[in-house]
Chain A
Amino acid sequence: MSFTPPFDTIDVLRFTTAGSVDDGKSTLIGRLLYDSKSIFEDQLAAIEGASRKLGEDRVNLALLTDGLRAEREQKITIDVAYRYFATPRRKFIIADTPGHVQYTRNMVTGASTADLAVILVDATKGVLTQSKRHAFITSLLGIPHMIVAVNKMDLAGYEEPVYQRLVAEFKEFSSKLTIADVTFVPISALEGDNIVDPSPRMPWYQGGTLLHRLETVTAGARINRTDFRFPIQTVIRPNQTFRGFAGTVSSGAVKVGDEIIVLPSSLSTRVKSIVTFDGERSEAQAGDAIVVTTTDEIDISRGDMLVRKRNVPSVSNRLEAYLCWMSETPMLIGVPYIIAHTTREVQALVTGIDYRVDVDTLHRESVETLGLNEIGRVTISTARPLFFDSYRVNLATGCFVVIDPHTNVTVAAGMIRGEAKELPSAPELVELSPSRPASSDVAWEGANITRAEREARNGHAAAVVWFTGLSGAGKSAIARGVERQLFSRRHVTALLDGDHVRQGLCGDLGFAPAERTENIRRVGEVARLFFEQGSLALCAFVSPYRADRARVRDILPAGRFVEVFVKASADVCQARDPKGLYARASRGELADFTGVAAPYEEPADAELVIDTETETVEASVDRVIAYLLGQGLIPQAGA
């Protein structure tokens, strides 16, 4: 084969294959390389030797593609291997991956850049789970073309009914998927039927050979040609007079003079020039590596994105996405990861899992985490906004990877569905209760940054946990213990304690009933401000009057006020007397001391009752945390 392709007439097609040791995938690739004369003499000699060593009587073409030592020993393909061959029409890049479920991550990686997927079906076995799995991943990763190669037709007598039955079976399955173009070819990789040349043994098949299909399918169909997106990779500044922004056009096209805006600043400018080593250009399109200069001096840096004024991507820090988990360490909810998206890196949290997809049955399952090779739909919050499109619409701005900041390893591949809807949370604003005083001429403007946004970033709900009980019952100790645990889970907390507020905020108040009521009213309002700022506000107050506590409950959404009755008898508290207050009260030094000279109204309907006469502080703290987890206010496995 001697050809000298002129440069701009042959293009590139990337395709992926997946399969296991028995279905003939490696043999198929070996056959494509062999029949397109892309195997060299020394490679052939090497596999002849290796075939003999393995005790095989014919040259095993599969050995061409099974590279690593372990793979040769175990006769399996472990990683993604890239193979190359070319015909006078096209250069091909094959991403060759294993097909077992434990290599789903490799299949996803291989599929991520492919224009086409070749799915192998074994004619002697029917449409197996593995073929279905690969088809699902093809669909999920948005590969536009699929060729189903019905292999081992030699073992099926080259009979048309066998082929037609498998085609029908596969079509029934694939109708559930989103794949633009599916074609079928009956082949024998071992014998070379319908790979490069039409098979004389299957005259009933009139479609093209596998190679013909590979040569004629449209390459680059995944590239979005409409929406101009230009993520900045690096700034080129050779001297004081030139400042250019280097990157590859992700999608769409741009011309000199076009009006553009810069994300995230939204400042607008125009394209002054498009610079390349091979000369200035008047326009550039998706895939072009260029340097752009602008007419205005604007601060633009890596991670920014140039787009058109009237065609802007979503700008948000809340996403809904499919994740394929690629790490042996399971996904943690509410724990910071790094997301790499276009040329931007941001901190991010998975805030929830909608479901996991069983890649074999396509069933959706409710789960609490994603493990290695599992695929699920999740909600993500990022510390800074991303500029993105739905993966279906624009692959380049819809894909991302998740990196574990501790190990630096890439732990997941993600595909954005869109902006996340609001958290299933309490209403944004609570009706003002009539008893709630408001200064005149003050209008409630609404939050600048909404609580829902803060909650999404924090990865947990906001709530007020109210510890009530006699002095010495253990309120503060438990509240502090709970706060410490929440803090170590990286949650946002605030602690309000009677002794603290009485030194400032409520320093003007005494202990008469009306003053106690005002004290709790103020504390309740402060707790609510913390709540609206997204905090888990922990309040430890004797708060003896039921009505006062009810008023605080009323200014918070349902489910967000957690009343914890810290219970211990007056006698026990008096015996503990950690601050010596009971002693002083009994000496008459403290008037109106609750439990001695003032009443305490026990809650009738507290969310949690903790008896500190029988429970240790640690056990009490655990119970509060368990309650918050059980209510879904804080995420599981956050430590």
Chain B
Amino acid sequence: MRAPARGHLRVLEAEAIYVLREVAAQFERPAILFSGGKDSIVLTWVARKAFFPARIPFPLLHIDTGHNFPETIAFRDWFAEHLNCSLQVRLVQDSINSGRVREETGPGASRNLLQTTTLLDAVKDLRLDAALGGARRDEEKARAKERFFSHRDLFGQWDPKNQRPEPWDLYNGRKGVGEHFRVFPLSNWTELDIWHYISAEKIPIPSLYFSHERMIVERDGVLLATGPFLTLLPDEVPDLRVVRFRTVGDSTCTGAVSSTAASVEEIIEETAAARVTERGGRADDRRSDTAMEDRKRGGYF
């Protein structure tokens, strides 16, 4: 009688499809937060499966810091068109211009935190009631307790001590006026699961993930790409290195790793052996031990 065990990727995919369909059924105006990174790519890929043969019934929303790698932006536009998705872009620069946020200055400056305001403005502007993200619980300590359906109050804030219980697979998306949800269909995936899935499904990803040569400065143990948005310290001298990125966030704070992995399979080999978590390369998480929790409380992704 026993059915054969199903592979873990099929289990994770089916779980994500179920969550995506719940979002379509329970919310009126959802959107996928799309960064051009591998997690949001996988999320969008699974969303296409969830609603097949129909199109994904909601848009992709990109909060663009303006400091993205050009490869990411090019990929984003190509991918949205390739999957026949509608794409909405909101610029952090617009929030700066309108005085909604003030830009950090100096060598450690990052627009990463400013995204929160632009995102919350977009949620309000597009009247989104659910914002789907590719975040996973294995990424960071604070995320280990995040729900699939994560309630945000009128101010977009997350209250980690007052989360709704989420037993079984019964997701409660009921909310008050002006409130919204963040939904994380890939909650139970790990970084390695993401890579295995990309490999199995032959999903295209931006070239930044693969090994390439790039001018790099090493700052505080993090390898940062030089570029128009990074202010160098007086004693910093960039040099050419063979690197790849494990995440493709804002170019001012996303660290590269020295790597020769040039294919997904090589990345998997490297990730399986990796001794540094992918967020370990992010300068913004290193500000303090609870940096992520603090940002999430404020409405960060």
Residues on A facing B (Cβ under 8 Å): 1-12, 40-43, 46, 49-50, 65, 67-70, 78-84, 86, 90-91, 93, 105-106, 108-109, 112-113, 218-220, 225-226, 233-234, 236-238, 242, 244, 246-248, 253, 275-278, 285-289, 291, 302, 326, 338, 340-341, 343, 395-396, 399-401, 403, 405, 408-410, 413
In the assembled complex, B167 has its CB within 8 A of some CB on chain A = yes
Q: From A7, A81, A108, give the contact of B196 (CB < 8 A).
A: A7
Q: Are B190 and A40 in contact (CB under 8 A)?
A: no
Q: Are A400 and B6 in contact (CB under 8 A)?
A: no
19 contacts between A and B (CB under 8 A): A2-B273, A4-B272, A9-B7, A12-B12, A43-B280, A79-B160, A82-B137, A109-B167, A233-B18, A234-B24, A236-B52, A246-B50, A248-B17, A253-B3, A291-B53, A395-B168, A409-B172, A410-B164, A413-B167
Most interface-central of B3, B21, B188, B289 (chain A CB within 10 A): B21
> Which residues of chain B have C-beta atoms less than 8 A from A291's C-beta?
52-53
Q: From A11, A69, A278, A403, give the contact of B49 (CB < 8 A).
A: A278
Question: How far is B277's CA from A40's CA once the two chains are assembled, in angstroms?
Answer: 6
B27, chain A: closest CB distance, angstroms:
11
> Which residues of chain A have C-beta atoms less than 8 A from B290's C-beta?
69
Q: Are B21 and A413 in contact (CB under 8 A)?
A: no
Which single residue of chain B is at the shortest CB-CB distance from A90?
B8
A390, chain B: closest CB distance, angstroms:
15
Question: How far is B201's CA from A74's CA once the two chains are assembled, in angstroms?
Answer: 44
Which single residue of chain A is at the shortest CB-CB distance from B271?
A2
Q: Are A340 and B14 in contact (CB under 8 A)?
A: no
Residues on B facing A (Cβ under 8 Å): 1-3, 5-14, 17-18, 21-22, 24-25, 48-55, 137-138, 141-142, 144-145, 160-161, 163-170, 172, 174-176, 187-188, 190, 192-193, 196, 200, 265, 268-269, 272-277, 280, 289-290, 293
A278, chain B: closest CB distance, angstroms:
7
Q: Are B17 and A10 in contact (CB under 8 A)?
A: no
> Which residues of chain B have C-beta atoms less than 8 A from A236's C-beta?
51-54
> Which residues of chain A have C-beta atoms less than 8 A from B188's C-beta?
82, 84, 93
Question: How far is B276's CA from A287's CA once the two chains are assembled, in angstroms?
Answer: 34
> Which residues of chain B have C-beta atoms less than 8 A from A46's C-beta?
289
Q: Are A408 and B7 in contact (CB under 8 A)?
A: no
> Which residues of chain B have C-beta atoms less than 8 A from A286's C-beta?
3
Q: Are B165 and A81 in contact (CB under 8 A)?
A: no
A110, chain B: closest CB distance, angstroms:
9
B192, chain A: closest CB distance, angstroms:
7
Q: With A69-B290, A234-B21, A277-B48 as known contacts, state yes or no: A109 contacts B166, CB within 8 Å.
A: yes
Q: Are A7 and B137 in contact (CB under 8 A)?
A: no
Most interface-central of A1, A67, A291, A409 (chain B CB within 10 A): A67
Question: How far is B4's CA from A285's CA once the two chains are assembled, in angstroms?
Answer: 11
Which single residue of chain A is at the shortest CB-CB distance from B2?
A225
Instruction: Given A90-B8, A410-B166, output 7 extra A-B contacts at Cβ < 8 Å.
Output: A40-B274, A69-B293, A109-B165, A225-B2, A248-B17, A401-B165, A410-B165
Question: How far is B8's CA from A93's CA once the two chains are assembled, in angstroms?
Answer: 11
> Which residues of chain B have C-beta atoms less than 8 A from A218's C-beta?
2
Most interface-central of B3, B5, B141, B265 (chain A CB within 10 A): B141
> Which residues of chain B have C-beta atoms less than 8 A from A234's C-beta?
21, 24-25
Q: From B14, B51, B53, B54, give the contact of A248 (CB < 8 A).
A: B14
Question: How far is B139's CA from A43's CA once the two chains are assembled, in angstroms?
Answer: 11
Question: How far is B290's CA from A452's CA once the two chains are assembled, in angstroms?
Answer: 57
> Which residues of chain B have C-beta atoms less than 8 A from A109's C-beta?
165-167
Q: Are A4 and B273 in contact (CB under 8 A)?
A: no
Which single residue of chain B is at the shortest CB-CB distance from A1?
B272
Q: Are B18 and A68 in contact (CB under 8 A)?
A: no
B282, chain A: closest CB distance, angstroms:
10
> Which residues of chain B have C-beta atoms less than 8 A from A237's C-beta?
54
Which single residue of chain B is at the shortest CB-CB distance from A66?
B141
Q: From A2, A81, A105, A246, give the contact of B144 (CB < 8 A).
A: A81
Q: Are A238 and B168 in contact (CB under 8 A)?
A: no
Q: From B52, B137, B161, B190, give the contact of A277 (CB < 8 A).
A: B52
> Which residues of chain B have C-beta atoms less than 8 A from A70's C-beta?
161
Q: Are B276 and A84 in contact (CB under 8 A)?
A: no
Q: With A233-B25, A289-B14, A410-B164 as known contacts, state yes or no: A67 contacts B142, CB within 8 Å.
A: yes
Q: Are A401 and B18 in contact (CB under 8 A)?
A: no
Q: Are A41 and B275 in contact (CB under 8 A)?
A: yes
